[in-house]
Amino acid sequence: MSSDFFTPDPEGQVPDDAGYFGAFGGKFIPEALVAAVDEVAAEYEKAKADPAFAAELGELMVNYTGRPSALTEVPRFAEHAGGARIFLKREDLNHTGSHKINNVLGQALLTKRMGKTRVIAETGAGQHGVATATACALFGLECTIYMGEVDTQRQALNVARMRMLGAEVIAVKSGSRTLKDAINEAFRDWVANVDRTHYLFGTVAGPHPFPALVRDFHRVIGVEARRQILERAGRLPDAAVACVGGGSNAIGLFHAFLPDESVRLIGCEPGGHGLASGEHAATLTAGTPGILHGSRSYVLQDEDGQITEPYSISAGLDYPGIGPEHSYLKDTGRAEYRAVTDDEAMQALRLLSRTEGIIPAIESAHALAGALEVGKELGKDGLLLVNLSGRGDKDMDTAARYFGLYDNDEAGER
Amino acid sequence: MAGNIELLSSVLAAARAENRAALVGYLPAGFPTVDGGVRAITAMLDGGCDIVEVGLPHSDPVLDGPVIQTADDIALRGGIKITDVIRTVKEAHEITGAPVLCMTYWNPVDAYGPERFAADLAEAGGAGCILPDLPVEESEAWRKAAEQHGLATVFVVAPSSRDERLAKITAAGSGFVYAASLMGVTGTRESVGNEAQDLVRRTRAVTELPVCVGLGVSNAVQAAEVAAFADGVIVGSAFVKRLLDAPDPESGLAAVRALAGELAEGVRKRA
């Protein structure tokens, strides 16, 4: 329904005027960016008040993205989850293959309204980069994507896609050479080129207004899914489950359910090689409050406030921060977060592929692994909604190596 | 013990009385080692800097270009801790008697505890702090701690800052105002743009605080250009580069001392 597509600022919701979700959020940015960030906030307020903006965005969502996205029940997969019913919100079926396009189209329209001609963005798995490069091609904007060098290697297919779409892809070689460092480099570019450049931030982190703005563009996920599951299952789910890296697909799913207190909101963080190994990116489970990339939220850091290097098999979740609204939801107890290891996610990836014929992204497989666990906890009367945030094509090389799917692979199937 | 905000102000006033700009040098602590960093900072002051900013290296230096990023990486890989940075401030001040500020990002100070950081920095003889990613709106807790411990809070203003923001920022700041010469990150530039002069003029219109200009200045000619319209000239990456390019530590120190000497002549020319 067209009324689902853009429903910003539901009454009584955070953040406040200074961008705070309780103790989290804010705007910790250099003075050189204050004017630009304020311009984004002002333009967004104008857009929200302009019915033409919602109409243009809605038209794109239907005819370009392919919304509403399907809701698919997965009974053969659910047999492995204690018999609970499981429905997947199919954001993988959106144009470009993930939820990222929702936010990108919204911000691309804002870019046009601000009269800017160049867009920069960070990307981890490459899904946000591909979506951004796509929108830039569609609107005739110059596009530069920053991507950690490690990620350009493990997500080489997406690098090629971005270049095919006409974007410049810059491999970032500083720090841990992953998503965090790509964001640092994008900020450096923005400070130097802010006059004509919009930083199309890809997740619900960053300085105010990005956490609220990106959330609003992804709210459609939960708004649609809530209506769909009521129609199909006749009731609200017991739990809504999503993976969290920066947290955009999870906020998009959760937000429409915030007033429904019976619905547990469960975020699945990248547990990497296990929390005890120290090699993970489970920011909410293992982090402490601090400031990274412009806002206060949970971060992985040492006692001196140095950000520690995260690890995940999933490039899109390999991030030591988290959107401030998730920190707020954790501390208020409205949402719960648990860590899912690389191995659990990869097993869930293969299980969904073989039981339902759907190959999920490794990111989304973390949510699937979490759902298997939650389903067993709920038992056979349970009803679960899982956000399938992206498709797994981009991950086939990683998965093939993990499971030994190449002919010349001596490892054999694991 | 109270911090040295008054020493900072008197050094800036003395330069003004000599009808010249002050020379402010920057080097990160712990680069290439903690003791090596103290020697380099001391050499910078011996060579002719009036004031120094000691960088507290951060894992995510979003406002720094590749030169300072490289130095920060070396310091962090060497295991630098905040307590080492404070020791660096203390030794640099004790050896030279010069005003020593700390420059860093907000998260390390936030993690250490703003009150504890201000107390320890003041105890070490520090003169103040520059926190370029802490905007004035988020700065109240820090400013309270800094004021209580006799430390300056130096805010950065940028060419994009509108006049009403300049008034708000400078009203909250103390010591001096750090005017960014251009829109960009740290690093040497071929030329320092006209934007700097306009920003200094607009800043002077709203504050009595001295206005020092940084970003991009790397040689005596540029220092003289900036000195013609600013109260101070801030140089960082050029010093770091001298150390990075040196074949051995001793020649690095000599190069730092020589650069400070050239720049000190520059700020006295006011070309």
pLDDT tens-place string over residues B154-181 = 999 999 999 999 999 999 999 999 999 9
Answer whether A188 sits within 8 Å of B185, measured CB to CB: yes
Q: Which residues contact B220 (CB under 8 A, 6 or more apart)?
A: B262, B263, B265, B266, B269
Other beta carbons less than 10 A from residue B81's beta carbon = 18
Residue A98, pLDDT > 60, answer: yes
Question: Quick one: A177 and A92 in the same domain?
Answer: no
Residue type, B172: A
Do A190 and A163 fall within a single domain?
yes
Residues A35 and A159 in one domain: yes
Residue A14 forms part of a structural domain: no
Q: B133, A29: Cβ pair inside 8 Å? A: yes
Of A31, A192, A306, Cβ closest to residue B185: A192
Sign of the C-alpha dihedral computed for residues B89, B63, A280 and A397 taken in this order: negative
Using CB atoms, pick whichever of B135, B160, B165 lies closest to residue A27.
B135
Task: Work out the minimum CA distance from B265 to partner chain A, whole angstroms.
Answer: 30
| Domain co-membership, A374 together with A271 | yes
Q: Which two tokens mark B138?
A: 């988020």
pLDDT in tens, A264-281: 999 999 999 999 999 999
List CB contacts (< 8 A) between B138 and chain A.
26-28
Question: Is B208 annotated in the active site?
Answer: no
Distances from the Cα of A128 to the Cαs of A105, A132, B152, in angstroms? 11, 6, 42
- Closest CA relative to residue A27, chosen from A301, A236, A347, A296: A296
From B112, which residue of chain A is nearest by alpha-carbon distance? A304
Residues A161 and A201 in one domain: yes
In a domain, A192, yes or no: yes
- In this prediction, residue A50 carries a pLDDT of 96
**How large is the average pLDDT for residues A121-126?**
94
Residue A1 counted as domain residue: no
Residues of B in contact with A187 (CB under 8 A): 62
Contact B183 A31 (CB under 8 A): no
| Residue-level pLDDT at A411 | 53
CB A213 within 8 A of CB A107: yes
> In chain B, what are the domains?
5-152+218-269 (3.20.20.70)
Instruction: Give the pLDDT confidence of B28-84 residue by residue, as tens digits.
Output: 999 999 999 999 999 999 999 999 999 999 999 999 999 999 999 999 999 999 999
A27 vs B contacts (CB less than 8 Å): 135, 137-138
Mean pLDDT along residues A305-314: 95
Residues of A with CB under 8 A from a CB of B: 18, 26-32, 34-36, 174-175, 180, 184, 187-188, 191-195, 290-294, 299, 301, 303-308
Whether residue A195 is found in the same domain as residue A301: no
Split at pLDDT 50, 70, 90, the class of A1 is low
Give chain A positions within 8 Å (CB) of B185: 188, 191-192
pLDDT of residue A4: 84
Structure tokens at B135: 């905007």
What's the Rg (C-alpha) of chain B?
17
CA distance A74 to A85: 8
Is position A4 within any domain? Answer: no
Minimum Cα–Cα distance from A309: chain B residue: B59
Residue A5 located in a structural domain: no
pLDDT at B36: 97
Domain final residue pick, A210, A245, A261: A210
CB B54 within 8 A of CB B27: yes
Q: Which of A27, A100, A116, A330 is catalytic?
A: A100
**Angular region, A409: left φ>0, alpha ψ -120 to 50, beta rest:** beta
Domain-ending residue, one of A184, A210, A236: A210
Q: What letter represents residue A61's amino acid? A: M
Nearest to A213 by CA among A52, A386, A57: A57
- Segment B119-136 shows an average pLDDT of 98
Does any CB of chain A come closer than 8 Å to the CB of residue B164?
A: no
User: In terms of DSSP bridges, do strands A20-21 and A24-25 run parallel, antiparallel, or are they unpaired?
Assistant: antiparallel
Q: Three-class SS of residue B169?
A: helix
Record: contact B82-A290, CB cut-off 8 A: no
**The predicted structure's pLDDT at residue A174:** 87
Domain co-membership, A246 together with A364: yes
Last residue of a domain, one of A210, A242, A260: A210
> Looking at the predicted structure, is the pLDDT value of residue B237 above 60?
yes
On whether both A163 and A241 belong to a single domain, the answer is no
Report, as an integer, the average pLDDT of A191-217. 97
Let me know whether A160 and A225 are in one domain.
no
pLDDT band at A11 (very low <50, low <70, confident <90, very high): low
> At B242, is the pLDDT very low, low, confident or very high (cuts 50, 70, 90)?
very high
Question: Do residues A262 and A201 share a domain?
Answer: no
Question: What is the domain count for chain A?
Answer: 2
> Could you read off the pLDDT of A147-176 as tens digits, one per residue?
999 999 989 999 999 999 999 999 999 888
DSSP for residue A295: E
Asked if B53 is an active-site residue, the reply is yes
Q: What is the CATH number of the domain that holds A377?
A: 3.40.50.1100
pLDDT band at A245 (very low <50, low <70, confident <90, very high): very high
Q: What is the pLDDT of residue B189?
A: 80
Higher-pLDDT residue of B16 and A10 is B16
Inter-chain CB proximity B183 and A192 less than 8 Å:
yes
B74-110 pLDDT, tens digit each? 999 999 999 999 999 999 999 999 999 999 999 999 9
Residue A8 lies in a domain: no
Of A184, A191, A305, the CB nearest to B108: A305
pLDDT for the residue A82? 94
pLDDT, averaged across chain A: 95
Helices within A49-119 (DSSP H only): 51-60, 75-78, 100-114
Q: Is B196 on the interface with A (CB under 8 A)?
A: no
Residue A258 covered by a domain: yes
Domain that holds residue A196: 19-65+99-210
Question: How close, in Å, is residue A192 to chain B by CA atoms?
Answer: 4
Residue B6: strand, helix, or coil: helix
State both tokens at B199: 């920003």
The whole-number pLDDT of residue B271 equals 55
CB distance A28–B134 less than 8 Å?
A: yes
Q: Is B234 on the interface with A (CB under 8 A)?
A: no
- Which of B270, B183, B266, B172 shows the shortest CA–CA distance to B230? B270
Question: Do B50 and B24 touch, CB atoms closer than 8 A?
Answer: yes
Task: List the single best residue of B107, B137, B140 to mutate versus A (max A Cβ within 10 A).
Answer: B107
Judge whether A410 lies within some domain: no
Specify whether A266 is located in the same domain as A372. Answer: yes
Share of chain A above pLDDT 90, in %: 93
Model confidence at A12: pLDDT above 70? no
User: Looking at chain A, which residue has its C-alpha nearest residue B81?
Assistant: A304
Q: pTM score, two decimals? A: 0.96
| Cα distance between residue B182 and residue B193, in whole Å | 7
Asked whether residue A79 falls in the same domain as residue A161, the answer is no
The residue to which tokens 């080492």 are assigned: B84
Residue A2 reports pLDDT greater than 70? no
- Provide the 8-state DSSP code for B14: H
